[in-house]
Amino acid sequence: GILIYKTHKSQTTNNKMGNEVSGEGDYYNDDEDDYAKQFDGIETLGYRVLGVQPDSPAAKAGLVSFFDFIVGANHKMLLGSGVGLAEGEEYNDVDFPLLLKE
């Protein structure tokens, strides 16, 4: 499976158009939730979820665009500091498709 770091609570509300929108206060707060604290001190790379197709396995799993990060797969974390990488630059030491196949 894929390891996901969720930076939000998965509560959503439906508007009149049937689209899901997140309400105010749907984000994890370190003071209120210990979930995020389990990641303190871990130097992990992650891939930000940029889009989730409706009715896809990702949507059914509750992934949210821009707020969730893929941080590992098949019980392996994507490790490394990423120091020196420019925004948007690829981390070439991680073969993510291969990692998912293992």
Residue 71 domain-assigned (yes or no): yes
User: Count of CB atoms within 10 A of residue 45's CB?
Assistant: 19
Q: Which are the contacts of 67, defined by CB distance < 8 A and separation ≥ 6?
A: 6, 7, 8, 27, 49
Rounded Cα distance between 57 and 61, Å, is 6
pLDDT confidence of residue 12: 38
Identify the pLDDT of residue 98. 60
Task: Give CA angle at 53 (4, 57), nearest 5°.
Answer: 55
Is 39 part of a structural domain of the chain? Answer: yes
Per-residue pLDDT of the chain (102 residues; tens, 9 = 90+): 566 666 555 443 333 333 344 444 444 444 445 655 665 665 666 778 888 899 988 888 888 888 888 877 766 777 665 566 555 555 555 555 565 555
* Look-up of token digits 């020196």: 84
Report yes or no: 79 and 93 within 8 Å, Cβ to Cβ: no
Domain limits at 41? 1-9+31-86+95-101
Number of separate domains in the chain? 1
Residue 7, pLDDT score: 58
